[in-house]
A and B are shown apart, each in its own frame.
Chain A
Amino acid sequence: MMFYEFALEHAWLIPLLPAIAFVIIGMLTRSYGKLSAFIAVCMSTISFLLSSGVTYAVVNNGITVEMPFVQKLSWMSIGSVDITMGVLIDPLTAMMLMVVSTVSLLVQIYSCGYMKGDPGYGRFFSFLSLFAASMLGLVLAVNFLQMYVFWELVGLCSYLLIGFYYYKISAREAAKKAFMTTRVGDFGLLLGILLLQINFGTLDFMALKEIIPAHIMSAGTGLMTIIALLIFVGPIGKSGQFPLHVWLPDAMEGPTPVSALIHAATMVVAGVYLVGRAFFMFNELPTVMTFIAWVGGFTAFFAASIAFTQTAIKRILAYSTISQLGYMMLALGVGSLTASFFHLMTHAFFKALLFLCAGAVMHAMADEANIFKMGGLKNKMPITFATMTIGVLAIAGIPPFAGFFSKDEILGAAAAVSTPLYILATLTAFMTAFYMARLLFVTFFGQPASEESYEHAHEASWFMLIPLIVLGALAVVSGLWGHIYGFGEWVRFGAAHEAGIDMFIAVSSTILSLVAFGIAWNIYVTKKWSSDVIAEKCGILYKLSYNKFYIDEIYAALIKVAVDGVAKVFYWIDIYIVDGIINGLAGLVGGISAMLSKAENGQAQHYAGFFICGVVILVAYSLYYLAVLGGAL
């Protein structure tokens, strides 16, 4: 049997291997850091190889979106509800498997260097393995329930990893915030799933694919719109769409490799993947599609405008992630699954690259996060500088880097559906180019802000550089490769997607990006224009952006009013009604037990006597019941 056939038949091994690594590390080798890292990387490598095999098999065996490869196993049956687990492999899955396993493998290798000397080294790798396992399991899910299980597992892992430095209060708070915020979304998702089960009696993707369009044909869109909106609440939470995006920037409290993993390849794209997987449902509902498109478009623009003014390197990247996820949602909303997933793939590579570069920079600067306290690093860290530049060019959409092709697809898809959305997306692209250029220029060009830390700065170890180089290469070629080799023929919904470049869109967006680069160069490198003056002129806008539009404060105030009000009512009830009853009961019980305790003298024989008394009474009563009352037992 060829390796790829084996991989296809045993695709369930892909999530299982990292899960095994998690168990082994968690239970046995946690305190041996190097061994733990070795186990984790080995398992990830094998599952990466299997993923490659699966992808090859998909191409070789001609598995298409219409004819997926499915393996199912009955998990449990409760009454008439049959719950199955299994693997569903189609080009979508294969692509996600490749992206997730590649990035998580590279991040694990990077972590070998990054986490060196951390007391929680082993623990970190066990969590990373669990994270990879959950995400790979989610990708392979055959039905909504299996997906939900892994979805929650992913959420749990992100909680564990964001709160990895649990001794820091800010990390604990951020972990809680991430967990609670995504929980709001998960609740909607759960409701949607339950409604699906109640109405259609199945959660299987392949079955629903047949049922739902038929249902909409016969019964209209009313019910399905509600279900689809509820399900979409899940991705809003998980993929950091407005208004549930607040957890994502705070998630930067975790170690940087975690940020790369969460923000590039895994957790946040789970939402996009869910919408893509259930696209057969969303595609039938124009209202919901419009809603998704506008949520995505607004999120993209909104997050980009916040990223403008942030100073912490990881926060800028976090808002840029939110913005790019908005892009993907926008693409889904305008009906182009191909564009969305193409961007998902390229984004996974260049965003992981950017985060890992940021990690290398922070590592070199003794964990300094403020970009204005860096500067001039291009001579000290040439490889990091080169790879970071590639990442920035990719995200800004300069040809021939990866982001250019995928962004162009999205812009094209948006232009075909709605001009306002197209303009919004183009504006966002311009802003993206500007703030990414700002990040790059401030960090690597100009004069060092602090001589001491500049002297201290150094290039990272090879463990960290190799993933950077690999990701850098991917960020260069993945877009062009996908463009040439017909990404749209495989990952698509409905008819095959023709890869074509609309010259007007391509040229205009490239020019805009270059202009943004030029402005950033003038402000931050040559200092021709003072950023302070600009900030002053913009006044309120600058303040709004700098304070992230006060979203966190608004939430805090809302929650304070709501929670405090409810709490006051409950406090009164608790003091006067609940306590009253409880105290009364307690007094009653106390009185009775004081009486009863006289019968308890602690002697076993005494108790045995009472026991026999009880038996005799019971037997006598049943005798009476049978013989005198004539009853039947």
Chain B
Amino acid sequence: MSEMLGTLVFYAVAFVILATALGVVTSKNLVHSALLMTACFIGVGVLFIWLSADFLGAMEFMLYSGGVAILVVMGVMLTKRQDGPPGNPFNHRKITALGLVILFVLVMSTVIVSTPVPSGSYVSADTVDALADMMLNKYILAFEIAATLLLAALVGAIILAKGDGEA
């Protein structure tokens, strides 16, 4: 892959990510928002692969654009109030929030641009092996805790969604 092509791909992916993300926020239809969000996640997954993190890219596709998207769509479906497409309105803080966010972007960009970048890079030939090795050796505790967290989230979600009356 030539350098030119790489740059082009990055900008294309970045455009997709930002455009779909904006769509998520501004769309009037909640279902559209959810679909755009899925597209955004696919973009992020492609970006991961571009950053030579292929395992993470695969995870992103499966978990986010697969699992999370489905969860969110189900959430939309379960909480629908009236007939017709579920709305996605703004609240009265729309303008203030916009100002705040722009301020945030400005400050963060200044930080990023003004901070010296360390030179050097790291590309792993085989991310899956390396990640598995770390996960089951050095970070085994974090791994186990993550497993417990998932279990707790599973139980918690069931109990929350089940309600009081339905024992």
Verify whether A and B have any Cβ pair under 8 Å: yes
Chain A residues with CB under 8 Å of chain B are 605-606, 609, 612-613, 615-616, 619-620, 623, 627
Q: A606-B93, A609-B93 are in contact. Are A623 and B104 (CB under 8 A)?
A: no
Contact A623 B110 (CB under 8 A): yes
Contacts of A613 in B (CB 8 A): 100
Q: A613-B100, A616-B100, A623-B114 are in contact. Are A605 and B93 (CB under 8 A)?
A: yes
Q: Report the separation of the CA atoms of residues A615 and B108 in the bound assembly, to the nearest whole angstrom.
A: 11
- 15 pairs of residues in contact across A and B, judged by CB atoms under 8 Å: A606-B93, A609-B93, A609-B100, A612-B100, A612-B104, A613-B100, A615-B104, A616-B100, A616-B103, A616-B104, A616-B107, A619-B108, A619-B111, A623-B111, A623-B114
Q: Report the separation of the CA atoms of residues A236 and B164 in the bound assembly, to the nearest whole angstrom.
A: 63
Q: Report the separation of the CA atoms of residues A145 and B93 in the bound assembly, to the nearest whole angstrom.
A: 65
Q: Does B96 contact A (CB under 8 A)?
A: yes
Q: Report the separation of the CA atoms of residues A620 and B100 in the bound assembly, to the nearest whole angstrom.
A: 13
The 0/1 profile, CB within 8 Å of A marked 1, for residues 90-111 of chain B is: 0101001100100110011011
Q: Report the separation of the CA atoms of residues A612 and B100 in the bound assembly, to the nearest whole angstrom.
A: 8
Q: Other than A606-B93, A616-B107, A627-B114, give 9 A-B pairs with Cβ distance below 8 A.
A: A605-B91, A609-B97, A609-B100, A612-B104, A613-B100, A619-B111, A623-B110, A623-B111, A623-B114
A613 to chain B, nearest CB (A): 7
Q: Report the separation of the CA atoms of residues A619 and B100 in the bound assembly, to the nearest whole angstrom.
A: 14
Contacts of A606 in B (CB 8 A): 93
Contact A619 B107 (CB under 8 A): yes
Q: Report the separation of the CA atoms of residues A623 and B114 in the bound assembly, to the nearest whole angstrom.
A: 9
B20 to chain A, nearest CB (A): 23
- Report the nearest A residue to B104, measured CB to CB: A616
Contacts of A605 in B (CB 8 A): 91, 93
A84 to chain B, nearest CB (A): 33
- Report the nearest B residue to A615, measured CB to CB: B104
Q: Report the separation of the CA atoms of residues A623 and B108 in the bound assembly, to the nearest whole angstrom.
A: 10
Closest 9 pairs (CB-CB, A-B): A620-B107, A619-B107, A616-B104, A616-B107, A616-B103, A623-B111, A612-B100, A623-B110, A627-B114
- Report the nearest B residue to A613, measured CB to CB: B100
Contacts of A616 in B (CB 8 A): 100, 103-104, 107
Q: Report the separation of the CA atoms of residues A328 and B123 in the bound assembly, to the nearest whole angstrom.
A: 84
B98 to chain A, nearest CB (A): 11
Contact A623 B91 (CB under 8 A): no
Most central of A606, A609, A616, A627 by chain B CB within 10 Å:
A616
Contacts of B108 in A (CB 8 A): 619
Q: Report the separation of the CA atoms of residues A620 and B104 in the bound assembly, to the nearest whole angstrom.
A: 9
Contacts of A627 in B (CB 8 A): 114
- Report the nearest A residue to B101, measured CB to CB: A612
Contacts of B100 in A (CB 8 A): 609, 612-613, 616
